Amino acid sequence: MCDHQHAKGVTLWFTGLPCSGKSAVADRAAEILKNGGYNVERLDGDIVRQDLTRDLGFSKEDRDENIRRVTFVAKLLTRNNVIVLTSFISPYKAMREHARKEIGSFIEVYVNTPLETCIQRDVKGMYKKAMAGQIKEFTGISDPYEVPENPEMILECGAEPLEESARKVIQKLKDLGFVR
């Protein structure tokens, strides 16, 4: 128990288009923090939808409910001095603002990757299906993504290596006094 670094809890909220690199950067930053002895939890869209929000689809209402539940979990963890890294498309500004208000200790990280790059990285072929009309309500194609207006961080994951993005996240936590 004693080998854990004591940190103030905070939620890093990674948002961006599908395949923008949210999970990859959050995973790498979490790894660095864990290696530094910090209490870290990852909340990722795919994993959460297997358990916590298995009952939800992708309509606007269901997406909002998905983020509502995740916000609740992140809030509990943050309050218990855990560094929480979430990676959700979370396309709607109102729900990200709700998360910020509820959680309090909150850093919005906008993963700003060009649509073309996201499409190239899409191993599951989701964009292709969405463009062919086979997937309805697909963010960035048939459903809107509302770009954050004042995120604490913007990562250019199309232009910089993963390691550099992760390093910037850790530096931000240091600058804000969440980690040493």
Region 28-51: mean pLDDT is 90
56-61 CB contacts, 8 Å cutoff, 24+ apart: 58/136, 58/137, 58/143, 59/137, 60/92, 60/137
Cα–Cα distance measured from residue 176 to residue 127, given in angstroms and rounded to the nearest whole number: 36
> According to the model, what pLDDT value does residue 63 have?
83
Active site residues: 90
Q: Does 59 have pLDDT greater than 90? A: no
Hey, CA dihedral for 85, 49, 96, 117, is it positive or negative? positive
> According to the model, what pLDDT value does residue 132 have?
92
Which domains occur in the chain, in start order? 10-175 (3.40.50.300)
> According to the model, what pLDDT value does residue 79 have?
96
How confident is the prediction for the chain on average, in pLDDT? 91
Kindly state the tokens that stand for 22. 């949210």
pLDDT, one tens digit per residue, over 103-154 is 999 999 999 999 999 999 998 899 999 989 998 888 888 888 999 999 999 9
Q: What's the predicted TM-score (pTM) here?
A: 0.91
Q: Does 6 have pLDDT greater than 80? A: no
> According to the model, what pLDDT value does residue 106 have?
97
Q: Does 4 have pLDDT greater than 70? A: no
Cα–Cα distance measured from residue 14 to residue 19, given in angstroms and rounded to the nearest whole number: 12
Q: Does 3 have pLDDT greater than 70? A: no
